[in-house]
Amino acid sequence: MEPSKKPSPASDPTVYAEGCTAASDHLDAVHATLARFWGGLSTPPDEQWRLRFEVAVSEIAANIVEHARPPVMFFRLTSIAGCVVAEFRDAGQGWNGPPEPANVLDELDELAALERLAERGRGLTLARRSVDEVEYERVGTSNHWRLMKRL
């Protein structure tokens, strides 16, 4: 499903874009919505800032699809005073992963043995290192993710 963009009601924050994806096209929709969102900002953040935010959003989206496996995922990007927020909602399985990701630097201390270098499990680490807040909450039968990065 194509991501949708709605006019921002007066009571809503200054700029927002939202999307609804099916599992088969979720990543395309997320990237397309991010591009439209930046285009709607009068003064987009610089490239490095945007790249970090996009990394975090992409990792959480991928995490949802891989672990929660919902048929549909809703997401919303909001620019509020001083920060940008990404929110995800899905009705998939609850998140059962570790509360804190493995420390990548600790892992690299053991790099003498390349075969021990993990090929998975860096998604949340990347997200947490790219934005200021990553929050997850299970609400009833829904998963809620919220990412915030200060401008």
Partner 1 sequence: MQIDLQQAHERVTVLAPKGRLDMSSAPAFRERVKQLVESGSAQLVVDLGEVTFVDSSGLGAVIGGLKVARQAGGDLRIARPNQQVLLVLDLTSLNRVLRPYGTLEEALASF
Looking at residues 17 to 76 of the shown chain, list those that interact with partner 1 (rule: CB under 8 A).
Answer: 27, 31, 47-48, 51-52, 54-55, 58-59, 62, 65-66
Tell the smallest beta-carbon distance from residue 98 to partner 1 (Å).
Answer: 15
**90: contact with partner 1 by CB under 8 A:** no
Q: Angle, to 10 degrees, between the axis of helix 123-130 and the axis of helix 47-63? A: 150
Q: Determine the Cα–Cα distance for residues 100 and 80; give it in Å rounded to an integer.
A: 27
One-letter amino acid of 109: D
- How many other CB atoms are there within 10 angstroms of residue 84's CB atom? 26
Q: Which is nearer to partner 1, 104 or 151 (CB)?
A: 104
Longest CA span, the chain: 57
Among 9, 114, 139, 140, binds partner 1 (CB under 8 A): 114
